[in-house]
Amino acid sequence: MPEARILVVDDHEDNRVLLKMVLESHGLGYLGAQDGQAGLQAARRELPDLMLLDLEMPQMDGFGVLEALRADRATADLPVIILTATYMEPASVERGLSLGADEYLVKPINPEELLVRIRSVIRARRAEREVARLRRDFQSMLVHDLRSPLEGIGLALDILLKQEVPPDQANEVIALARDQVRSLSEMVSGLLEYYRADAGGSAVLAPIDLVKLAEEVNAEASLVAQDRRLLLTLDAPESLLVEGDHRLLKRVLANLVANALKFTPKGVVRVSLRAQPPGARIEVCDSGPGIPADERAKVFDTFYHIARRRERPEHGFGLGLAFCKAAVEEHGGTIGVTDSPSGGATFWIELPALPASVPAGC
């Protein structure tokens, strides 16, 4: 099975033969067409991974082929590398690229350069298609997740409107609807926070005390920890000042603590803060199953979680961690994850120091 199938459209047979030898000797499949019209037909019929297109051909030249390719939904995103010996003036190059060519190479072709360009273009286009597919998956999953609580609310209202329900049961139905509204509200709030942070510019920076912020987060998460019979601790100095947005950083830390509590079956979740010149370091350590080394760089990537959710429907979108990364970077900081001494995972954040121009006592 060839690594990729390449369609060569050139009216000179010797050029096609030469390119066939180059491609096949490097594990690439070859398809050939002797003119523009035949090239279009082959592209629609074979759906190759890439087209090598000569510009100077009789009847339909390369520009005409490009226009026809982009006008057809079946071939609109077919990668094209133009090969030409004559159309080298800037206007021709600009025209070819504006019609959707991915690369422009001059004949005589250097085989090594051609192979590098082919593989680079194919990788880039496959990555674009995968991202587009993941976006469609995300939209579909999001609609499903938003629809579920709405259906629950509608069902509860139908029961109340259409049936005589005893007061105690009516209260249960109302409580169900209320919980669904809260779930929907939390989901929408999470989406808004993620997109705001991802777009940047949402942080309102001011001197804040990370210790007080962490105490607030732990206090609010304490009931969840007690319910799960986990110990939630805070190891911190008396005060640790940074410049940040209290609302955003609190949500970041709350997300990390919530995740740690969620994935820790028993034991301790520890939040620790310390000064780390030239700034501050936050760590959230758990004693859960940990994160495999090959996945650590991906856990902050939204589309990685969407791909996982196709295999595990109960798996979330990963927007919480994606939001954390965007919000921390907006503060000029960094975020990552390592092994925890207790065998779980340690999510860490490093934030820059309070600017010298800002009085530390603020």
Instruction: Identify the weakest region by mean pLDDT among 3-7, 94-98, 259-263, 305-309.
Output: 305-309
Name the amino acid, one letter, at 95: R
Instruction: Identify the weakest region by mean pLDDT among 195-204, 208-217, 237-246.
Output: 195-204
Q: Estimate to the nearest angstrom the gap between the alpha carbon of 267 and the chain centroid.
A: 32
Query: Which pLDDT belongs to residue 280?
Result: 94
Q: What is the percent of the chain with per-residue pLDDT over 70, rounded to a whole number?
A: 84
Query: Which pLDDT belongs to residue 315?
Result: 46
Q: Tell me which CATH code domain 5-109 carries.
A: 3.40.50.2300
3-state secondary structure of 75: coil
pLDDT at 114 over 70: yes
pLDDT at 140 over 80: no
> Would you list the domain boundaries of the chain?
5-109, 131-199, 206-352
Contacts of 103 (CB under 8 A, 6+ apart): 81, 82, 117, 121
Query: Which pLDDT belongs to residue 229?
Result: 92
pLDDT band at residue 87 under the 50/70/90 scheme: low
Q: What is the percent of the chain with per-residue pLDDT over 90, rounded to a whole number?
A: 44
Residue, of 69 and 157, whose pLDDT is higher: 69
pLDDT at 217 over 60: yes
Instruction: Report CA dihedral (266, 270, 271, 275) to the nearest 10 degrees.
Output: -160
Query: Which pLDDT belongs to residue 359?
Result: 46
3-state secondary structure of 358: coil
Quickly name the fold that domain 131-199 has: Helix Hairpins (1.10.287)
Residue 7 corresponds to which tokens in the numbers above?
């369609």
Mean pLDDT of 218-233: 92
Query: Which pLDDT belongs to residue 358?
Result: 47
pLDDT mean across residues, the chain = 84
Residue, of 356 and 327, whose pLDDT is higher: 327
Residues 250-294 pLDDT 10s: 989 998 998 899 888 899 999 999 998 888 999 999 988 888 887
Whether the predicted model's global pTM rises above the 0.95 cut: no
Residues 25-44 pLDDT 10s: 999 999 999 999 999 999 99
Query: Which pLDDT belongs to residue 134?
Result: 63
pLDDT band at residue 201 under the 50/70/90 scheme: low
The residue among 89, 31, 26, 29 whose CA lies nearest residue 55 is 89
Inter-axis angle of helices 62-71 and 36-46, to 10 degrees? 30
pLDDT at 356 over 60: no
Tell whether omega for the bond before 277 is within 30 degrees of 0, i.e. cis. no
- Please check whether the domain covering 206-352 is classified as CATH 3.30.565.10: yes
Strand boundaries in 60-210, DSSP class E: 80-84, 103-106, 206-209
